[in-house]
Amino acid sequence: MFLLGLLSVGTLGYILIESYNVLEGIYMTVVTISTVGFSEVKPLSDSGRVFTIFLILGGVLFYGLAINVVFQIIIERSFKGFMETQILKEKLKTITGHYIICGGGRMAMAICTELEKAGHEFIVIEKNSDSPVSKAVEQLRARYMILTGDALSEETLAEARLDRAEGLFSVLPTDADNLFVVLSARRLSSKVWIETRIAHETTRPKMLQAGANRVLSPYHVAGIQMARSMLRPQVDDFVELYLGENNYEFEAKIQQVQAGDSRIGKTLNDCRFGDEGFSVTALKYPDRALQYAPPVETTIVAGMAIFLLGHSKD
């Protein structure tokens, strides 16, 4: 805008002061601002020379401002990138119990949103600066930790502290890439929980064999949800209310019964979870499948997981 204003003022000035035509005025203005040293179209009057002096000063001011802005952008970006890298390195030295997300696409964005909502720390491994997660950090100022690198590299997984991570999500675009990540992650850690996505159901056995704990197909899950929504809309509405982003009424939690717990040997009725605002929806024994809607006479044993649904009265 400054340059356009300078060109307009210069052209108009030469037209009014020296009676140049429009082309001559534009030519003289460009020659003057660029300081190339070409001769005048016509000899200048004293008024024209004074006007040219101020036009030259305006051109010098323009170059100064332009150079300042360019250097400021370069320095700010370099310094910002340097600081972000140093902060991430320091964070990786102490981080533990976090989650690693391999990939930065739309599914990774959804995972980031849920983990952030739940208050869990996580690291996204992504090398594409145009991915949805990268754009969210840049444009929406999301506070996601992004480790720039190749998720297929074991060095990158180790740098993300896979050995201290709680879980890993592999949501890269292709099944082959996800399979490679699962193999690498399982080789580096035998304890970390691994979840991955597949595009083709034929890949599921390979993913499980490679070490994935859970394999999900977005198309399969979406199809089941659509069918259930159509067949049982009331149930789907309840689930949507329970899982919805604006839900503040329902709360789900799991009570792990460890050895020495005071509730061991008592029945569900004696534990009086209802007084806390929760109902027991299911039980998981250490060596058995889930038991839904357990009777209140059920005795609590060590190693049991109690699934509660309700709303805390605190």
User: Kindly report the CA angle at 87 between 86 and 92, in degrees rounded to 5?
Assistant: 100
Give percent above pLDDT 90 in the chain.
30
For residue 295, the one-letter residue type is P
Between 258 and 80, whose confidence is greater? 258
Q: 33-47, 118-132, 262-276, 287-301: lowest mean pLDDT where? A: 33-47
Per-residue pLDDT reduced to its tens digit, 62-86: 888 888 888 877 776 666 666 767 7
Top mean pLDDT of 58-72, 184-198, 253-267 is at: 184-198
> Would you list the DSSP string of 38-81?
PPPSS---HHHHHHHHHHHHHHHHHHHHHHHHHHHHHHHHHHHH
**Could you tell me which CATH class the domain 95-216 is placed in?**
alpha beta
pLDDT higher than 60, residue 244: no
Position 237 confidence tier, pLDDT thresholds 50, 70, 90? low
Position 287 confidence tier, pLDDT thresholds 50, 70, 90? confident
Position 5 confidence tier, pLDDT thresholds 50, 70, 90? confident
Q: Tell whether pTM > 0.85.
A: no
Between 130 and 143, whose confidence is greater? 130
pLDDT of residue 15: 86
First to last CA, the chain: 59
Task: Taking residues 170-192, report their average pLDDT.
Answer: 94
User: How would you classify residue 301: left for phi > 0, otherwise alpha for psi between -120 and 50, otherwise beta?
Assistant: beta
Burial of 47-73, coded b for 16+ CB within 10 Å and e otherwise, reads: ebeebbeebeebbeeeeeeeeeeeeee
From-to residues of CATH 3.30.70.1450 in the chain:
250-314
From-to residues of CATH 3.40.50.720 in the chain:
95-216
- For 106-259, strand residue ranges (E) read 122-125, 145-147, 167-170, 193-197, 214-216, 251-256
Top mean pLDDT of 196-205, 255-264, 269-278 is at: 196-205
Q: Which residues contact 111 (CB under 8 A, 6 or more apart)?
A: 101, 122, 169, 171
Q: Find residue 47's DSSP bridge partners.
A: none
Burial of 176-208, coded b for 16+ CB within 10 Å and e otherwise, reads: ebbbbbbbbbbeebeebebbbbbeeeebbebbe
Look up tokens 């709680």; give the residue: 166
CA dihedral 252, 253, 254, 259 (to 10 degrees): -150
**Could you tell me which CATH class the domain 2-79 is placed in?**
mainly alpha
Between 103 and 141, whose confidence is greater? 103
From-to residues of CATH 1.10.287.70 in the chain:
2-79
pLDDT of residue 235: 65
Within the chain, how many helices (H) and strands (E) appear?
A: 11, 10
For 250-314, the fitting CATH number among 3.20.20.105, 3.30.70.1450, 3.90.850.10, 3.10.450.350 is 3.30.70.1450
DSSP three-state, residue 214: strand
pLDDT higher than 70, residue 102: yes
CA Rg value for the chain: 33
Instruction: Quote the mean pLDDT of the chain.
Output: 85
**Which letter does DSSP use for residue 267 in this model?**
B
pLDDT higher than 70, residue 198: yes
Question: Phi/psi at 160 (nearest 5 deg)?
Answer: -80, 5
Q: State the SS3 of 141-173.
A: CCCCEEECCCCCCHHHHHHCCHHHCCEEEECCC
- 283 vs 267: CA distance, rounded Å: 12
**Which letter does DSSP use for residue 274 in this model?**
G
